[in-house]
Structure formats: C-alpha cells, structure tokens
Amino acid sequence: MELAKYKGIPIVTYICDDYYFQKRKSISPLYYVNRYWYKNTLRKLLSEHNKIVAICDKITHDYSKEFKVQSKTIMTIS
C-alpha cells in the first residue's frame, strides 16, 4: 500500500469470499485476533484504494455498499 501510494499506482482488490461479513463463533481467542486484524487491514486497504473485482454479484453488492467503492463482477470458471 505504501509503494502504491508513493508511486500513485492504483490497487484493484480481488475478493472471492464473504469472510468479512461472516458471523461465526469460535472458542479460540486466536480466531478473534485474526479476524480483527483481517477486518482492520481490509478497511484500510479499501479506504485508500477503492476498486474491487469480485467473484459474484452478491459479494460485489455487499462490498460496494459497505465500503462505497467501485466494483465489478468477474465470474471465474470452476
């Protein structure tokens, strides 16, 4: 992110899961530490670089609504 900011290079984030929005429970404290770190990192990334490519329309809609970013759906072949 620092290099992209320094050089003025846009970052396009590819998202293929809805992990950010999952409401899972766990007995492991490491799960919550990892989830906290992941969500904060993703928020920082998408607040500075606002382009997303997602794997399906639902993810495209959810992320563009949450982060107010430009997004496109590109479905990949399974």
Q: Which residues contact 13 (CB under 8 A, 6 or more apart)?
A: 45, 46, 49, 51, 52, 53
DSSP letter, residue 8: T
- Global pTM reads 0.76
Q: Residue 49: which pLDDT band, with cuts at 50, 70 and 90?
A: low
62 C-beta neighbours (distance < 10 Å), count: 17
Mean per-residue pLDDT for 16-40? 90
Supply angle C-alpha 35, 23, 42, rounded to 5: 40
Which residues have C-beta within 8 Å of that of residue 34, sequence separation ≥ 6? none
